[in-house]
A and B are shown apart, each in its own frame.
Chain A
Amino acid sequence: MTSVSLHKQAATALDVDKVRADFPILMRRVHDLPLVYLDNAASSQMPQPVIERWVRYQQSEHANVHRAVHALSEIATREYEGARDKVARFINAHESREVIFTRGTTEGINLVMHGFGRAFIKQGDEIILSALEHHSNIVPWQMLCEEKGARLRIIPMNDAGELLLDEYEKLFNAHTRFVTLAHVSNALGTVNPVRGMIHTAHQHGVPVLLDGAQAAPHMAVDVQELDCDFYTFSGHKMCGPTGIGVLYGKAQWLEKMQPYQGGGDMILNVTFEKTTYNAIPYKFEAGTPPIAAAIALGVAIDYLNGIGMGAIAQHEQALLSYATTQLRQVKGVRIIGTAQEKAAVLSFTLEGIHPHDAGTLLDMEGIAIRAGHHCAQPVMQRFGVPATARASFAFYNTFAEVDALIAGIHKVQKVFA
């Protein structure tokens, strides 16, 4: 069988069984069946070293950061800043001070909307974003446009879910102030050709934010090579905890931007007459940060690096290719998102079956997928569907789990036959 040979191929790069043993949750059963977790684009699972680090921090290292002179505060500060250094190396930022900890990708985007957009975007200005954005990269910019009298310009896509680059270039004019773009589409899996798109924007003197929520967990990201001005992603989609994310920004921009929230830690000096803001990144980290979550994210990065982003990408691509081939053979399946360059996201519809019914019936088989609009309603409208079913893979998924998904889909179709 193809699956066996493919499985052997992949095993040379990544020992999936060994990796799976690190994830306690993958051993559990759901509805008395083995869990098949294929909702990684929504949130990934946490390996034991990350869980243990979190516990160890709370058991023996916790205090507030950047404040007291006592031993615990020094340890917590060192570990928290150590996590920042790990993030900086992970995305190859020029300096650690270009890394801001946020609650997640959504907050990263909102921070840029506020810090950059509210400061520099004015009436009549234009912001370019794409037809495949997640709501979190649409709504903040709509709010800004409403407030400022600016407007959004949308990069269209083709039927495969690939952005039309000719149309993109035509959108630039004297009013263009900002470009914000998904690195990888959460609903379609499309990997956008961001390097060239950033180059185009820079030729017009326009800075670019990349929403890397679906990219950072699945491929090596080098912000200097991409030359993006901002890059943001979430910890919980890359084996870390919820409540922590990252915004990278070029120091030259971050220094010019206004703070996002006011409070402690983001100031140097406060009087009732005037406050002097702290240096970056602290200017953007008001209040006590999610210390344990940041440290755990650092360990998640160590864990991913231990496996290797190259090996991760290779295994996930093999899973995607196998799953796509198998799914195409199922009658009545329409795959939504067929770009040449894709991450391991498989959105599909089944003829005559609503994705929510498919999701519920697959869940009864222990298979977790996402059904819905994936917070990307404009994408659903573009493809003329109310919703899709979406299987999204991580490096700990197996070819046998793809087989389970396909068998599950056949069962769903039997119920509806």
Chain B
Amino acid sequence: MSDGRQLYQEVIMDHNKKPRNYGVLADANRRAEGHNPLCGDHISLALRLDDDLIREIAFQGETCAICKASASMMTTNVKGKSVADAETLIQEFRDMATGKLDTATQAHHLGRLNVFAGVRELPTRVKCAVLPWHTLHAAFHEESSATTESGEF
């Protein structure tokens, strides 16, 4: 089975059907919207930071399965972590998705997120996987919105 199909069948379906941390966060103190104008994907991300710690995080949106699964797994992975640790994951996730980080041979902190390495087989879908991470980065930096078309990938 190709990594691409495995990506769909194993992870995405689970998180697509039962996305974790899906919904609104009433006491959020950071928010950002993420857009992929090419396919219409849109996610809203809300988090509550206590000092430097991600206490709560939630997302909502109208997205494809890859984006939703990526957002779902992102929330479970960064919840309880410091902003600095989350930024490390953001960088490593982007590098993995774009092929700059080979998780098979290089050290990383991605753990289960490593399954998204399969998205490299689907170059047209890399942006779908990265959008939630891009949005999280925007939320940390108090930017209200993120787009896949800003040329930062």
- Give the interface of A toward B (CB within 8 A): 31, 353-357, 360-361, 364, 371-373, 380, 386-387, 415-416
Say yes or no: is B25 at the interface (Cβ < 8 Å to chain A).
Answer: no
A364 x B65 contact (CB < 8 A):
no
Q: Which residues of A contact B65 (CB under 8 A)?
A: 353-354, 357, 416
Say yes or no: is B150 at the interface (Cβ < 8 Å to chain A).
Answer: no
Partner of B2 from A355, A356, A364 at Cβ < 8 Å: A364
A31 and chain B: residue at smallest CB distance: B2
Partner of A372 from B4, B5, B9, B39 at Cβ < 8 Å: B39
Q: Which residues of A contact B42 (CB under 8 A)?
A: 386
A-B contact pairs, 6 of them (CB 8 A): A354-B63, A356-B128, A357-B8, A360-B8, A361-B8, A387-B39
Bound: A130/B109 CA distance, A: 52
Q: Which residues of A contact B105 (CB under 8 A)?
A: none
Nearest Cβ in chain B — how far from A277, in angstroms?
40
Nearest Cβ in chain A — how far from B62, in angstroms?
6
Bound: A387/B64 CA distance, A: 10
Q: Which residues of A contact B84 (CB under 8 A)?
A: none
Q: Which residues of A contact B125 (CB under 8 A)?
A: 356, 360
Nearest Cβ in chain B — how far from A387, in angstroms?
5
Q: Which residues of A contact B122 (CB under 8 A)?
A: 360
Q: Which residues of B contact A356 (CB under 8 A)?
A: 39, 64, 66, 125, 128
Bound: A31/B2 CA distance, A: 10
B5 x A364 contact (CB < 8 A):
yes
Bound: A57/B64 CA distance, A: 46
A387 x B8 contact (CB < 8 A):
no
Nearest 3 pairs of A and B residues by beta carbon: A386-B40, A354-B64, A356-B64
Q: Which residues of A contact B2 (CB under 8 A)?
A: 31, 364
Nearest Cβ in chain A — how far from B37, in angstroms?
9
A359 and chain B: residue at smallest CB distance: B124
Bound: A360/B4 CA distance, A: 9
Nearest Cβ in chain B — how far from A56, in angstroms?
35
Nearest Cβ in chain A — how far from B147, in angstroms?
15
Whether A416 touches B66, Cβ cut-off 8 Å, given contacts A356-B125, A360-B124, A380-B40, is no
Q: How many A-B residue pairs have CB under 8 A?
A: 48
- Give the interface of B toward A (CB within 8 A): 2, 4-5, 8-9, 13, 16, 38-42, 62-66, 122, 124-125, 128
Whether A387 touches B40, Cβ cut-off 8 Å, given contacts A360-B125, A415-B9, is yes
B2 and chain A: residue at smallest CB distance: A364
A357 x B66 contact (CB < 8 A):
yes
Q: Which residues of A contact B5 (CB under 8 A)?
A: 361, 364
Bound: A371/B39 CA distance, A: 8
Nearest Cβ in chain B — how far from A110, in angstroms?
22
Q: Which residues of B contact A354 (CB under 8 A)?
A: 39, 63-65
Q: Which residues of B contact A386 (CB under 8 A)?
A: 39-42, 62
B8 x A415 contact (CB < 8 A):
yes
Bound: A386/B36 CA distance, A: 11
Nearest Cβ in chain A — how far from B120, in angstroms?
13
B64 x A357 contact (CB < 8 A):
yes
Nearest Cβ in chain B — how far from A378, in angstroms?
13
Nearest Cβ in chain B — how far from A69, in angstroms?
49
Nearest Cβ in chain B — how far from A360, in angstroms?
6
Bound: A40/B38 CA distance, A: 20
B4 x A364 contact (CB < 8 A):
yes
Q: Which residues of A contact B13 (CB under 8 A)?
A: 415-416
Bound: A310/B77 CA distance, A: 60
Bound: A355/B64 CA distance, A: 8
Nearest Cβ in chain A — how far from B26, in angstroms?
27
Q: Which residues of B contact A360 (CB under 8 A)?
A: 4, 8, 66, 122, 124-125
